[in-house]
């Protein structure tokens, strides 16, 4: 696996795991505390930096597993 293939694979895994991590710990705004024009479905404290750090670590673990499987030829990507 070349570095460009590895980078592309990590990029795809990072985005897929981000979609899994984003809903973690989301609490909605209390309807009594809404400001005019505020969406009732918006998260109260999104904590995006923490989610990005957790996502990067999780994507690294998943990428390590995928890399090991590809390099060891358990799954061949070549015809």
Alpha helices in the chain (DSSP H): 3-21, 48-71
46: pLDDT confidence band, cut at 50, 70 and 90? confident
pLDDT value of residue 20: 93
CA angle 37, 42, 45 (to 5 degrees): 120
Average pLDDT value for residue range 9-38? 86
**Structure pTM?**
0.76
25: pLDDT confidence band, cut at 50, 70 and 90? confident
Give yes or no for a contact between 54 and 21, defined as CB atoms under 8 angstroms apart.
yes
CA distances from 28 to 12, 24, 48, 50, 52 (A): 29, 12, 15, 18, 20
Beta-carbon contacts of residue 47 (< 8 Å; ≥ 6 apart):
25
Across the chain, mean pLDDT equals: 87
Residue 52, pLDDT above cutoff 80: yes
């Amino acid at each position: 696996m070349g570095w460009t293939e590895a980078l592309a694979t990590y990029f795809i895994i990072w985005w897929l795991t981000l979609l899994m991590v984003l809903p973690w710990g989301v609490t909605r705004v209390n309807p009594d505390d809404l400001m005019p024009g505020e969406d009732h479905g918006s998260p109260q404290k999104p904590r995006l930096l923490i989610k990005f750090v957790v996502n990067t670590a999780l994507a690294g673990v998943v990428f390590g597993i995928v890399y090991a499987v590809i390099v060891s030829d358990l799954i061949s990507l070549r015809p």
